[in-house]
Structure 1
């Protein structure tokens, strides 16, 4: 006994003929008749009496109909759920993604919206914070994965590299440096700066670059997120150095962007717990997010 046989029985009971059942199931009449014969052979008794070319349901068929209809409905729901799970969709799907706050203005919303367009039953939870916070969210299973700057510092992660970008100089509109096609560290001599906090790895690398260039950075404001740096720059507090990817998501602030030379590289990737199996949904969104971010980063 299989689902198709039960569906054929249900369709014949509903339409009163194999022709009607065939139309309903989008099968040939002979295929429906064959399914009915197979079901009757499995059950060991007839479900219909054949009189003058017509089918008449037996009392046994009438008694079976309610149970068969309920069973077919349940099996169809199981099949739909299996189909959804196979392509990364599920009525019970919760996707938890941890990202830097600065990605949530435009970058991530557009990526999530595109992914959810045909996944109406998926719920997405976005966690934000510093890279340390994002790593902890993955470790304590608050997030399925996180988008972070590489290398991640803890050994418990499986890392999926996504892209490499470079540092840029962000300045308010009308700033004197806006006349330059690219900015060097020497151009930043005596220029007020808005930089990320000294405890961050990026800041250590940047300070080393300033020392090598024999430039003493004139730090006026220290912040702990790219979005905060951009907000202070927009208010005229100085210029900032941030990564080129997040510079694309400045929330519509009146800012200008210039390449920084020599290049300051940034590598980004997704991190997962090594001991946490990934669902098809997580795999599907991780791949979608990676592809879209690479496309955005390459669209210069």
Structure 2
């Protein structure tokens, strides 16, 4: 089945008629009919039956449909990558992909610091989930990506940027006085408090559950959330203790909540990813140095 056959097949599936497919592809109706006939002869299958002026896909065509759709998604990615490569050659724009929690404090502060040296540079920040970040960088839709879990991908290079840790955040009135005096909270201390849990599919959530098992501690979850910033929001409203990374905790309001380091110490790394096919642009390199400076400031 040739690519042209696949294109005609997909257009007929979408339009339901030869005339509709012809309009989609800017072709004549005879050309569409001819190509469909060639495809059916080559495959030895009937792909469509005529019914009340429309072309109805046969069971064989329906079996091919998901594979054809997958192929077109890949073709779209090729076109996007080609466009991004062309745009990247011209640009004096810094394109950043980042997990949502970093876009609240870390990235804005780093960009403000970067603008002292590059006041006129255009910056585009896209806050996405980790899977979208990997896909976007592989397609070179950004110059650099920031996330909180080390992920490997054959098309990307991973660079450590900074190390934080898991911390506990709760309304100041919720913390027992002894913990505020000690200025840290252990898993055993949290066992009697309502905890805002991270989703078990989240890398930090998995790390936390593993440490709980190793220490034979079972936390009582009052709420389970999918994002670190959502956990922080619940903590601000007094729903319980949020266990989040220290980068997210930079957004905590000290007038409302108290942040205590979690013990035992559970490290959380901030990582930068970039496409392996080209060096990190100088502007992106300077941006990462600003991120490090922000996180090293008291």
TM-score of the alignment, normalized to the shorter chain, above 0.5: yes
In structure 1, the partner of 2:77 is none
- Give the root-mean-square deviation of aligned CA atoms: 2.3
CA contact (8 A) 2:109 2:294 kept: no
1:213–1:279 distance in 2 versus 1, CA, 3 Å = closer
Point out the structure with max Rg over C-alpha.
1
CA contact (8 A) 1:130 1:224 kept: no
Residue 196 of structure 1: CA displacement?
1.6
In structure 2, the partner of 1:232 is 234
Task: Return the TM-score normalized by structure 2.
Answer: 0.63
In structure 2, the partner of 1:153 is 152
Structure 1: segments with no counterpart, 5+ residues: 1-90
In structure 1, the partner of 2:93 is 94
Structure 2: segments with no counterpart, 5+ residues: 1-89
Residue 253 of structure 1: CA displacement?
7.2
The count of corresponding residues between Structure 1 and Structure 2 is 207
CA contact (8 A) 2:106 2:247 kept: no
CA distance in 2, matches of 1:111, 1:271: 17
Q: How does 1:6-85 map to 2 (within 5 A)?
A: none
2:173 is paired with a residue whose SS is coil
2:265 is paired with a residue whose SS is coil
Residue 138 of structure 1: CA displacement?
1.3
Q: How does 1:266-281 map to 2 (within 5 A)?
A: 266-281=268-283
1:203–1:93 distance in 2 versus 1, CA, 3 Å = same
CA distance in 1, matches of 2:188, 2:206: 18
In structure 2, the partner of 1:171 is 170
1:251–1:236 distance in 2 versus 1, CA, 3 Å = closer
In structure 1, the partner of 2:261 is 259
CA distance in 2, matches of 1:251, 1:125: 27
Deviations 1:71-121 (A, max 9, x none): xxxxxxxxxxxxxxxxxxxx9511111222222233321210121234233
Q: How does 1:95-114 map to 2 (within 5 A)?
A: 95-114=94-113
